[in-house]
Structure 1
Amino acid sequence: MFKHKQFFWTLNRCSFAPLEPVAWKKTGQIATAVIQGVYHDFTQGATHLHTTEVRPIWSKSFERMGRFSNHIFYTSAK
């Protein structure tokens, strides 16, 4: 579900085993259900996201889809 160095928490960890396996499994189930259309995709098909605490340079080349709490969602179709 992630690539090495994709998330801050992957930078310095020796093991990428989830710290909370039950929660990790549940998030995978929710993500699968959204992709299958069981739940509404409030991100409108977003492919990228970041928190409001950062402003990555790549965000200028993506279409902003919306914001939920402190996360901003984008799609690569611009």
Structure 2
Amino acid sequence: MLPSWKSATTSVVGCRGHGFATEAARACVELVAQEFAPTLLTAIIHPENAASRGVAEKVGMTHIDDDHAHPWIVRTVMGMQVSPASSD
């Protein structure tokens, strides 16, 4: 079984809107595909965080479900199929 990997990002106000988060997310997707070869990659996002959802969509993720595991918290689950990286 693969370990559970979590990534958290924080933006500095002056850096927003320049594509840095999208670039970092793409690099994470590539790294995970190369190192762990998962079939599904997911992101757990607060439903009101439109910027994070936008980044997830830019790297190819789509809405999978809403997580209602906690009685007061709803989280948006985004995900994408990942194919193992080719070794060139």
Structure 2 length-normalised TM? 0.29
Structure 1 length-normalised TM? 0.32
